[in-house]
Chain A
Amino acid sequence: MSAILEKPGFNPDRKYKIIGTSPVKHDGFDKVTGRAKFAADFFLPGMLIGKFLRSPHPHAFVRKIDVSRAEKLAGVKAVVTRDDFPELKPGTGGGDMSRIAMAREKVYWEGHPVAAVAAVSETIARKALKLIKVDYEVLPHVIDPVAAMAPNAPILHDYLRTKGVKGPDAEKKTNVVERLELSVGDAEEGFKEADVVVEHTYDTKPMHQGYIEPQSSVANVSEDGQVELWCCTQAPWVYRDRLTEILKLDSAKIRIQQSELGGGFGGKTTFYTEPVAILLSKKAKAPVKMTLTRVEVMKATGPVSGTQTRTKMGCKKDGTIVAADSELIFQTGPYTGSAFTNAPQAMFTRYELKNVKTVSYEVVSNRPKVSSFRAPCVPQAVFGVEDVVSELAKKIGMDPIDFRLKNAIKEGHKTIYGETFTKIGFIETLEAAKACDHYKSPVPKGQGRGVACGFWFNRGGETTGTVNLAPDGTVNIILGTADVAGSRMSMSMMAAEEFGIPVDRVRSILADTHSLGYNRVTAGSRTTFSSGMIVVDATRKIIAELTRRAAKIWGVPEDGVIFEDGHCRPASSNVGNFEPLSMKDIASKTTYTMGAISGHSEMNVTGAGPGFGLHIVDVKVDRETGLTQIMRYTVVEDAGKAISPMQVEGQYQGGAVQGIGWALNEEYIYGADGKLQNAGFLDYRMPVASDVPMIDTVIVEVPNPKHPFGLRGVGEVPVTPTMAAVGNAIGECIGIRPRSLPMTPPKVLKLIEEAEAKGLLPKH
């Protein structure tokens, strides 16, 4: 373990020169000029194009696959099916990953890959796909998770038994992967103390991460079995380890280079094209590129879990929440891995609750396997919790932020999942929200205002990195985490701050998997925090080495040298009258001292500071059409310390905009045939720029004492309360709070009619 984890040296009085400014990102120029190389921009000489054949059925046995005619087509260089994959046991991690990449016994969703072709052109590859004959035995399918839990539902996996169930049901065939109960205190007893109880049911729909860059990879397998892979990923090392597992490779023989990432949001933490491109390349003895089309991205890459939830909370007349109870059903696609356990851990983690009961279920059905998305599985649960909280406040006549303040957790709170918080900034966030211009302004006539809070754990984990000093005194940083949102720039800024040099003298790059040790996936809002620890640690090692070298050059003891503003100086006039040595002075003479200077660091980083936020939104609803317009939106969130405020704002705004899409229009629409009907941006209605106003931001800074600059992750919190905030605002506007996502015009129009009939519709 590194010293920095024990003594991060956070100094509240330190004055920063670079931290807290927003210089233009070093990778920004290439992105706006189009020079940046995303995965699909990669070409190799002699490269073939690979294409998938996908199942037209949501659920079927795959009896036979005849590829003979495809193989004979001129220009086709390789065809891959299940027979080319090592057989791994179904129901295991590797077995599931292998079967997601290529169907084996069964196809489990419309779009499940059944074969792939590599050919000299895309046209030929597409022609070849039409020549492959697949004999399916079509089975009944089930799309909806609640239907999948019914006793007579089609069973996806004969081997599946519900984890966490005891008694006679434990041995039954089922689509329920797990039943998880997570509770503290005694909810039933707690409710007895309640003066007011509110309970509602909710449903949310799967939404897609919506990254603009489709998955793409180029694999190049040599005759002696060495694999080179270029791809867009948030997790090069995770990909390497999983690929070695399902393809039976040695890690030493596979090298993965991540490209620029054209959006990931959690969706690029798991592979789709990569294992197939590798097998095609191996067979064809040529490099193979596979790029998904938008339809493939929508049909076969991870959306987010849809949910059915019930949430009940009670409070006393003075506003004290006394108990909470929730039941949650998460859809995961055909295989486990939805990260649903985040939900019961995070859903109430803002409030001081002594009595909580949660029961969660993860359910398989015939839809694409879900993938991570900002705060996986948490926003769906918060959609209900923050409605109930606002309704409780309203029922006892309390301001919704005051009600939250009354119940807010602070330092020393022990969470439902066992962590005891050190310094957190929830109260400061709520106070900043109350004080901000948006909340202080009256709600414009005819509009409704909603507020909602969110929480995310923030993560650390295994991270490595290297900082190199060049002879001219400039610095380059080699990072293993992906740059999903500007982390290279943040790392350059942190190193420049430590060295006391301009940030333009620092550049950061993203390593391949051979160049550094293991780096955990870039997810959980861990990267700027974790790689930041690594970079500061490595930078400090270099500074220590620079002072040693200066001492050597001057012939003085090491403690006679100090380092500041990029220079080694004598610690006092007693040391001697030496001219300060710049980083360049020392780095250019390393041949005569002890060789090149670099700093390396590896840690299992701990101490990520939890993040809290509050969103305020004003909406206008067209009472004749049910159309909701977002009029004003403010995100208030604790960043610990914003390294680059502009990038932090971007995270706040991006999270809110993705949440607005999820709230208002995004959903997967299936026909009775189990086929996805809106596999494209035309009918999968993500917001466009003109749909949202400028999102205002308030960056609260309550430093995380475990980081030298005090930073916290900021990427996930801003999506957690968005749908709840928008729902609450619509509820204020029309008199009934929508509880089913997306809150589309037809649904809202029906609620308006209901509100009118019940006399609940507010008068303008």
Chain B
Amino acid sequence: MSELRYEAPASLKAAAALLAKEKGLAKILAGGTDVIVQMETDLIEPELLVDIKKIAVLRKITAEKGGFRIGAAVSGMEMMEHAALCKSWPGVLDGVKLIGSIQVKARATVAGNLCNGSPAADSVPPMITAGAVARIVGPKKTREVPVEEIPLSPGKTNLAKGEIIESFFLPKRPKNSGDAYERFTPRTEMDIAVVGVAINLTLDADGVCTAARVCLGAVAPTVIVSKECAAALVGTKVDQAALDKLAAAASAACRPIDDKRGTIEFRTKVAGVLARRVAVKALERARRIA
């Protein structure tokens, strides 16, 4: 084991190069709310930390094609303070707001939340239902990848050595649509989701759901994008019958484990409960965001 080195390059290219040539374990440091904790508890022993907070382009939220581009080093609090983003994607912000505490959110990033590879990450399900696309810069090429394709298994992502998420693109919010995210935790904050559900839906002029995306967190090795849940909503006015169908589909889609944070039985049941509550919230927002 050699000494830990810390680098804070000013460009993405330099950062990618540092990561690509490192022989030992290299970790990207943004907020550090996962990496530093893992180092402190001996879960990882990196030899190189590449701090991306000094890369100006990664620290910005910019308007793009009616949507938003969010730099990978933008903190949760910076997202929460961006009025237009909050108005457009309240469900994404539901997820961001639930991460840790104010202090944690002042440092933590959505990119870090995703790259940590936890199926319980709060910002990931609503980013997926929003149709967020990550721009990944590598030593050789840049690629655009939908967020749901990035986590592979707990702690693992499809990012190759030397690749860094540069930003996320959140598309333009369609008319009459709304999104929401809720999680279940025994505590009000500083906790990890036992179950999380995100829903993004679009209504037509008659209030019929024309499109829906439903994501379940913490009930499988990676976030579940459930077509069955979406099908329960599409073509309905999101009435009681549709909500019952949604709840049943959500419970059926779960593939959870028993662990220190929850049981299979509990997670399965509460996934349905939350799906119903989240759909109602998304529906209200869709009606409001006309």
A664 at interface (Cβ–Cβ under 8 A)?
Answer: yes
A contact residues around B261 at 8 Å (CB): 683
A625 and B260 within 8 A (CB): no
B contact residues around A669 at 8 Å (CB): 260
A224 at interface (Cβ–Cβ under 8 A)?
Answer: no
B3 and A746 within 8 A (CB): no
Q: What's the minimum C-beta distance from A425 to chain B, rounded to whole angstroms?
A: 35
Contact of A746 among B40, B188, B192, B262 (CB under 8 A): B262
A749 to B189, CA, bound (A): 21
Stretch in contact with the other chain, from B5-13, B211-219, B264-272:
B264-272
A contact residues around B192 at 8 Å (CB): 682-683
B1 at interface (Cβ–Cβ under 8 A)?
Answer: yes
What interface size band does chain A fall in? Answer: 20 to 34
A683 to B188, CA, bound (A): 13
A295 to B266, CA, bound (A): 28
B188 and A688 within 8 A (CB): yes
A680 to B43, CA, bound (A): 13
B contact residues around A746 at 8 Å (CB): 262-263, 265-266
A745 and B186 within 8 A (CB): yes
Contact of A665 among B3, B101, B186, B189 (CB under 8 A): B186
A127 to B1, CA, bound (A): 8
B187 at interface (Cβ–Cβ under 8 A)?
Answer: yes
B contact residues around A127 at 8 Å (CB): 1
Interface residues of B in 235-290 (CB under 8 A from A): 259-263, 265-266, 269-270, 273
B40 and A293 within 8 A (CB): yes
A749 and B266 within 8 A (CB): yes
A677 at interface (Cβ–Cβ under 8 A)?
Answer: yes
Contact of B260 among A295, A681, A683, A691 (CB under 8 A): A683
A744 and B186 within 8 A (CB): yes
Least CB separation from A295: chain B residue = B41
Q: A293-B40, A682-B190, A685-B191 are in contact. Are A625 and B184 (CB under 8 A)?
A: yes
Interface residues of A in 664-687 (CB under 8 A from B): 664-665, 669, 677-678, 680-683, 685, 687
Q: A293-B40, A682-B192, A746-B265 are in contact. Are A123 and B3 (CB under 8 A)?
A: yes
Q: What's the minimum C-beta distance from B199 to chain A, rounded to whole angstroms?
A: 17
What interface size band does chain B fall in? Answer: 20 to 34
Least CB separation from A623: chain B residue = B273
A712 to B122, CA, bound (A): 48
A contact residues around B4 at 8 Å (CB): 123
A745 and B184 within 8 A (CB): yes
Q: What's the minimum C-beta distance from B183 to chain A, rounded to whole angstroms?
A: 11
A625 and B273 within 8 A (CB): yes
Q: What's the minimum C-beta distance from A165 to chain B, rounded to whole angstroms?
A: 37
Q: A295-B41, A746-B263 are in contact. Are A624 and B187 (CB under 8 A)?
A: no
A508 to B191, CA, bound (A): 40
Q: What's the minimum C-beta distance from A70 to chain B, rounded to whole angstroms?
A: 14
B contact residues around A665 at 8 Å (CB): 186-187
Bitwise, B90-115 to A at CB < 8 A (1) or not (0) is 00000000000100000000000000
Contact of A687 among B184, B187, B259, B270 (CB under 8 A): B187
B260 and A688 within 8 A (CB): no
Q: What's the minimum C-beta distance from A679 to chain B, rounded to whole angstroms?
A: 9
A198 at interface (Cβ–Cβ under 8 A)?
Answer: no
B3 and A681 within 8 A (CB): no
Interface residues of B in 172-201 (CB under 8 A from A): 184, 186-192
A627 at interface (Cβ–Cβ under 8 A)?
Answer: yes
Contact of A688 among B184, B187, B266 (CB under 8 A): B187
Q: A295-B41, A746-B262, A746-B266 are in contact. Are A690 and B273 (CB under 8 A)?
A: no
A669 to B261, CA, bound (A): 10
| B contact residues vs A (CB 8 Å cutoff) | 1, 3-4, 40-41, 101, 184, 186-192, 259-263, 265-266, 269-270, 273
Known A688-B187, A690-B188; 9 more pairs at CB < 8 Å: A123-B4, A626-B266, A665-B187, A683-B260, A683-B261, A687-B187, A688-B188, A745-B270, A746-B266
Give me 24 A-to-B residue pairs in the complex whose CB atoms sit less than 8 angstroms apart, sorted by A's number: A123-B4, A293-B40, A624-B270, A624-B273, A625-B270, A625-B273, A627-B184, A627-B186, A677-B259, A677-B260, A680-B41, A681-B190, A682-B190, A682-B191, A683-B192, A683-B260, A683-B261, A687-B187, A688-B189, A690-B188, A691-B187, A691-B188, A744-B186, A746-B263
| A contact residues vs B (CB 8 Å cutoff) | 123, 127, 130, 293, 295, 624-627, 664-665, 669, 677-678, 680-683, 685, 687-688, 690-691, 744-746, 749
A-B CB proximity, top 3 nearest: A746-B266, A690-B188, A624-B273
